[in-house]
Structure 1
Amino acid sequence: MSLLSGLDSVAIVGYFLRLGQLLSTGVPFSLVAVEDTLRAGIGNRCLFLWSFCFSASLLILLTELCIFQSRIPHYWDGFLHVYAYYFAFICLSASIMFGITYIQYLPQGPVQNYAITATAFSAMASVLYALEVPWVCARPGNIYCFVPTTQGVIRRLENAVACVIFGFITNTDLYQHQPALIWCVVVYSICFILGAVNFFINGCDRDNDRRLSIPYPGFLVGQTVLSILLYTTAVILWPLYQFDKDFGGQPQRSNDMTCSGELPPTLCVWDQRLAVAILTAINLLAYVADSAYMALVFVG
């Protein structure tokens, strides 16, 4: 009763929003998990994304119910704002990838109905996460929501691109045969985690708000420089070991049996390798631009 008595209308809206997110990510996760036909290729990647979103949303709900966020100074609203932004993007990507891969290629029947239902609930999840972004900003007393500067947009891009990369590398066939490619996966994970930690300890986009100082500028600089160094190794090793024949790669798309016209184009492993290579280069450029912008700000 003490917990319920402390709830106001704003908190209740938040809890219903969170329960909707749990339902709309839990349903596609459950449907794909129980159907072997949907767990191949893209299905496994989407399964990982939905389970990740469900787990994170459940953890946040438990934190809010236990009022633990009151012990995290200054950062909770900003964290929720960024979390909702990224998860809306993740669920939208999963909906598109899963829908175009399975719905049109499966024969009519229970499995296709599972695919349609999973896609619909995933799209619903992306809408619910997107709704949380303005809802967090509208909460009374929230001073951490504002239009991000150029540097803030770049940082969001870095983690958004990393989320797309994770969607591809959940297919372990892309890298498990080569230690150098496993290193690239480690690079993507380390840089994403460091970026998420930076968002959290620096109040998400607080470092882009001219009204507020950066609590930990040293971590911000170190994270950006380290990410540049790590991504430089990945942008070299990933294409080298994926497309150079001397290193066990496959330079010709036509030699990849998964790229035949009988299969959905999204299942082509060669295209997935190429997509990760392009996204790695994009993220390296983003980190370089972030570093350059930061240097101009500090010098200025």
Structure 2
Amino acid sequence: MPVTRSKSVGNTSALTSQLGIVRLLEVLFTCVTFSLVVHIDRWHTRNGDWCMFSWCASFAITIVILVVEFAGLQHRMPVSWKNFPITFAMYATLMCLSASIIYPVSFIQNQNPSRRERPYLISATVFSCLSFLAYSTEVGITKAKPGEVTGYMATVPGLLKVVETFIACIIFVFISDPVSYDSPEGLQWCMAVYCICFILSLLVIILCIGECTGWLPCPFNKFLSGYTLLAVLMYATATIIWPIYKFDSKHGGSSSRPRYCSSTTMCHWDKLVAIAVLTAINLLVYVADLVYSARLIFIQG
């Protein structure tokens, strides 16, 4: 009798490889995290909404990536599969990191949970931290190695673009609640800096994921160097101007924390400090991006 062989269904290496196992852990950790939070119903605030969005979005998109790779549908997807997974993994890393900080501060430190709720809150925080570690491990596994030919988003400059846009989003949250850039004109310039640089960095990410870099009227590497140099100069001005108008008494600012600010919650002055710090951090990120982009144009030019 003829021997019948069972055909393997799907690409099992997508689940059993080192990267596949890490992604399965990501799914497990994020699922446990938001399940614990939903079980005790402790997330109905703006901070809680962000944390829940971070865990649920990371969980859902990771599932999609696993299904696509298991079914071998990478070439049928309308995005560059060399750029999309690592771009998402980097965003998920930053989102889970922020959620791992925001959630315990908002729901454990600043509130008084009951004895029944506290173990769930602590467990959710632990699994959120594990989710962050899992996604950062994926980034470490999939980022470009020296001499490796891969997508731009897998390189250091590509990953820095993700960091730049994420930090800008945090700045937007702080600067708009309450509005802190309406006057004078120097603060409006700072807001313009954040918006222009965010849009350009996001444009680069979209062009890479959509494999549309050929649409640019100039070589991609030269565009990157030119725009990154512009971003460094613009952020340098914002790093100087923002503290002058917000913390110098000569320009109506306050150099010390007002007495009306609570010791347990973030007040308006704290947000102004956070914006100044984040602006300086993003300046350093853009400087590092410029160095790598200049090296790229030197090697390929």
Alignment of 1:255 with 2:258, yes or no, is yes
* Partner Cα distance (1:74, 1:103) in 2: 40
Alignment of 1:282 with 2:286, yes or no, is no
* Further displaced range: 69-78 or 270-279: 69-78
Q: How does 1:208-223 map to 2 (within 5 A)?
A: 216-221=220-225, 223=227
After TM superposition, give the deviation of residue 119 of structure 1 in Å: 1.0
* Partner Cα distance (1:246, 1:39) in 2: 41
After TM superposition, give the deviation of residue 224 of structure 1 in Å: 2.2
Report the CA distance shift for 1:36/1:122 in structure 2 as closer, same or farther (over 3 A).
same
Hey, what does 2:124 align to over in structure 1? 118
After TM superposition, give the deviation of residue 220 of structure 1 in Å: 2.4
Alignment TM-score, normalising by the size of structure 1: 0.64
* Partner Cα distance (1:63, 1:130) in 2: 21
- For the 8 Å contact 1:26–1:51, the answer to whether it is kept is yes
After TM superposition, give the deviation of residue 260 of structure 1 in Å: 2.1
How many residues of Structure 1 are paired with residues of Structure 2 in the alignment? 275
* 1:121 aligned partner, one-letter code: F
Residue 132 of structure 1, aligned match among 133, 138, 144: 138
Percent identical = 32
* Further displaced range: 94-103 or 44-53: 44-53
* 1:283 aligned partner, one-letter code: N
* 1:160 aligned partner, one-letter code: V
Hey, what does 1:197 align to over in structure 2? 206
- For the 8 Å contact 2:30–2:56, the answer to whether it is kept is yes
Report the CA distance shift for 1:72/1:7 in structure 2 as closer, same or farther (over 3 A).
same
* Partner Cα distance (2:231, 2:220) in 1: 17
* 2:272 aligned partner, one-letter code: R
Hey, what does 1:206 align to over in structure 2? none
- For the 8 Å contact 1:38–1:115, the answer to whether it is kept is no
Hey, what does 2:185 align to over in structure 1? none
Q: 1:67-90 deviations in whole A, cap 9, x for unaligned?
A: 442247995345434543453343
Q: How does 1:88-127 map to 2 (within 5 A)?
A: 88-105=93-110, 106-127=112-133
After TM superposition, give the deviation of residue 280 of structure 1 in Å: 1.5
After TM superposition, give the deviation of residue 185 of structure 1 in Å: 5.8
Residue 163 of structure 2, aligned match among 156, 160, 178: 160
* Partner Cα distance (1:256, 1:191) in 2: 40
- For the 8 Å contact 2:94–2:132, the answer to whether it is kept is yes
After TM superposition, give the deviation of residue 157 of structure 1 in Å: 4.2
After TM superposition, give the deviation of residue 28 of structure 1 in Å: 4.0
Query: Structure 1 stretches of 5 or more lacking a match?
Result: 204-214
Hey, what does 2:30 align to over in structure 1? 25
* Partner Cα distance (1:283, 1:276) in 2: 10
Please say which structure displays the higher CA radius of gyration.
Answer: 2
Report the CA distance shift for 1:52/1:195 in structure 2 as closer, same or farther (over 3 A).
farther
Alignment TM-score, normalising by the size of structure 2: 0.64
* Further displaced range: 37-46 or 27-36: 27-36
Hey, what does 2:215 align to over in structure 1? none
**Aligned Cα root-mean-square deviation (Å):** 4.7
Report the CA distance shift for 1:73/1:54 in structure 2 as closer, same or farther (over 3 A).
closer
After TM superposition, give the deviation of residue 274 of structure 1 in Å: 1.4
Residue 50 of structure 1, aligned match among 28, 46, 55: 55
Q: How does 1:60-99 map to 2 (within 5 A)?
A: 60-61=65-66, 63-64=68-69, 67-71=72-76, 76-77=81-82, 79-99=84-104
Report the CA distance shift for 1:293/1:107 in structure 2 as closer, same or farther (over 3 A).
closer
